[in-house]
Amino acid sequence: MVPVTLVVLTALFAAQKRGSASVGKPFGPGTAVQFLALALLGGAHVRRNPAVLTAVLPQHPLRFIIEQPGLAFVSLGAIVLCVTGAEALYADLGHFGKRTIRLAWFGLLMPSLLLN
Protein backbone atom coordinates (compact mmCIF):
# COMPACT_ATOMS: atom_id res chain seq x y z
CA MET A 1 0.00 0.00 0.00
CA VAL A 2 2.86 2.39 0.75
CA PRO A 3 4.36 2.17 -2.77
CA VAL A 4 0.95 2.84 -4.35
CA THR A 5 0.44 5.82 -2.05
CA LEU A 6 3.85 7.20 -2.94
CA VAL A 7 3.12 6.87 -6.67
CA VAL A 8 -0.25 8.63 -6.31
CA LEU A 9 1.25 11.45 -4.21
CA THR A 10 4.14 11.91 -6.64
CA ALA A 11 1.71 12.11 -9.58
CA LEU A 12 -0.48 14.51 -7.65
CA PHE A 13 2.35 16.92 -6.86
CA ALA A 14 3.75 16.65 -10.39
CA ALA A 15 0.36 17.58 -11.89
CA GLN A 16 -0.33 20.29 -9.32
CA LYS A 17 2.07 22.73 -10.95
CA ARG A 18 -0.31 22.84 -13.95
CA GLY A 19 -3.17 24.09 -11.78
CA SER A 20 -5.97 22.58 -9.74
CA ALA A 21 -8.04 21.72 -12.83
CA SER A 22 -5.36 19.27 -13.95
CA VAL A 23 -5.56 17.57 -10.56
CA GLY A 24 -9.35 17.60 -10.34
CA LYS A 25 -9.98 15.93 -13.68
CA PRO A 26 -8.54 12.51 -12.78
CA PHE A 27 -9.17 12.62 -9.04
CA GLY A 28 -12.73 13.98 -9.13
CA PRO A 29 -14.34 10.91 -10.72
CA GLY A 30 -12.21 8.63 -8.54
CA THR A 31 -13.43 10.40 -5.43
CA ALA A 32 -17.04 10.12 -6.63
CA VAL A 33 -16.60 6.38 -7.16
CA GLN A 34 -15.12 6.07 -3.67
CA PHE A 35 -18.10 7.81 -2.07
CA LEU A 36 -20.58 5.77 -4.12
CA ALA A 37 -18.85 2.59 -2.91
CA LEU A 38 -19.11 3.84 0.68
CA ALA A 39 -22.84 4.48 0.19
CA LEU A 40 -23.49 1.08 -1.37
CA LEU A 41 -21.53 -0.88 1.22
CA GLY A 42 -22.97 1.04 4.15
CA GLY A 43 -26.47 1.01 2.68
CA ALA A 44 -26.46 -2.78 2.54
CA HIS A 45 -25.78 -2.91 6.28
CA VAL A 46 -28.32 -0.20 7.10
CA ARG A 47 -30.90 -2.14 5.14
CA ARG A 48 -30.32 -5.17 7.37
CA ASN A 49 -30.37 -3.08 10.56
CA PRO A 50 -32.02 0.34 10.05
CA ALA A 51 -31.86 1.07 13.79
CA VAL A 52 -28.21 2.10 13.37
CA LEU A 53 -29.42 5.40 11.87
CA THR A 54 -30.57 6.45 15.36
CA ALA A 55 -26.86 7.07 16.06
CA VAL A 56 -27.22 10.51 14.46
CA LEU A 57 -29.73 11.68 17.08
CA PRO A 58 -28.33 14.46 19.30
CA GLN A 59 -29.24 12.66 22.53
CA HIS A 60 -26.34 10.23 22.11
CA PRO A 61 -23.48 12.76 22.11
CA LEU A 62 -25.14 14.73 24.91
CA ARG A 63 -25.37 11.61 27.06
CA PHE A 64 -21.74 10.82 26.20
CA ILE A 65 -20.65 14.30 27.35
CA ILE A 66 -22.57 13.96 30.62
CA GLU A 67 -21.49 10.39 31.40
CA GLN A 68 -17.87 10.57 30.18
CA PRO A 69 -16.70 14.21 30.39
CA GLY A 70 -12.97 13.39 30.24
CA LEU A 71 -13.26 11.11 27.24
CA ALA A 72 -15.66 13.57 25.60
CA PHE A 73 -13.03 16.31 25.96
CA VAL A 74 -10.39 14.15 24.25
CA SER A 75 -12.90 13.24 21.53
CA LEU A 76 -13.62 16.92 21.00
CA GLY A 77 -9.93 17.43 20.24
CA ALA A 78 -10.16 14.82 17.48
CA ILE A 79 -13.31 16.50 16.16
CA VAL A 80 -11.52 19.85 16.03
CA LEU A 81 -8.72 18.25 13.98
CA CYS A 82 -11.30 16.82 11.55
CA VAL A 83 -13.02 20.18 11.21
CA THR A 84 -9.76 22.00 10.50
CA GLY A 85 -8.90 19.36 7.89
CA ALA A 86 -12.30 19.87 6.28
CA GLU A 87 -11.74 23.63 6.39
CA ALA A 88 -8.47 23.21 4.51
CA LEU A 89 -10.26 21.02 1.98
CA TYR A 90 -12.93 23.66 1.40
CA ALA A 91 -10.24 26.34 1.06
CA ASP A 92 -8.74 24.23 -1.74
CA LEU A 93 -12.18 23.98 -3.33
CA GLY A 94 -12.50 27.77 -3.39
CA HIS A 95 -12.42 27.94 -7.17
CA PHE A 96 -15.73 26.02 -7.30
CA GLY A 97 -18.94 27.91 -6.72
CA LYS A 98 -21.14 27.60 -3.64
CA ARG A 99 -23.82 25.79 -5.59
CA THR A 100 -21.42 23.10 -6.84
CA ILE A 101 -20.02 22.45 -3.37
CA ARG A 102 -23.51 22.31 -1.83
CA LEU A 103 -24.75 19.88 -4.48
CA ALA A 104 -21.73 17.62 -4.00
CA TRP A 105 -21.96 17.74 -0.21
CA PHE A 106 -25.69 17.29 0.24
CA GLY A 107 -26.21 15.09 -2.82
CA LEU A 108 -23.32 12.64 -2.48
CA LEU A 109 -20.83 13.16 0.33
CA MET A 110 -23.06 13.54 3.39
CA PRO A 111 -25.53 10.76 2.42
CA SER A 112 -22.63 8.42 1.62
CA LEU A 113 -20.92 9.09 4.94
CA LEU A 114 -24.20 8.75 6.83
CA LEU A 115 -24.96 5.40 5.23
CA ASN A 116 -21.44 4.19 5.84
**Tens-place pLDDT, residues 64-97:** 999 999 999 999 888 888 767 666 666 666 667 7
Q: Are 90 and 101 in contact (CB under 8 A)?
A: yes
Segment 94-110 mean pLDDT: 80
Nearest partner of 96 among 12, 18, 23, 6, judged by Cα: 23
| Structure confidence at residue 93 (pLDDT) | 63
Q: Which residue has the higher pLDDT, 26 or 62?
A: 62
Residue 110 has pLDDT above 80, yes or no: yes
Segment 41-61 mean pLDDT: 91
| Structure confidence at residue 36 (pLDDT) | 93
The string of DSSP letters for the chain reads -HHHHHHHHHHHHHHHTT-HHHHHHHHHHHHHHHHHHHHHHHHHHHHH-GGGGGGGSTHHHHHHHHH-HHHHHHHHHHHHHHHHHHHHHHHHGGGS-HHHHHHHIIIIIHHHHHH-
| Structure confidence at residue 8 (pLDDT) | 83
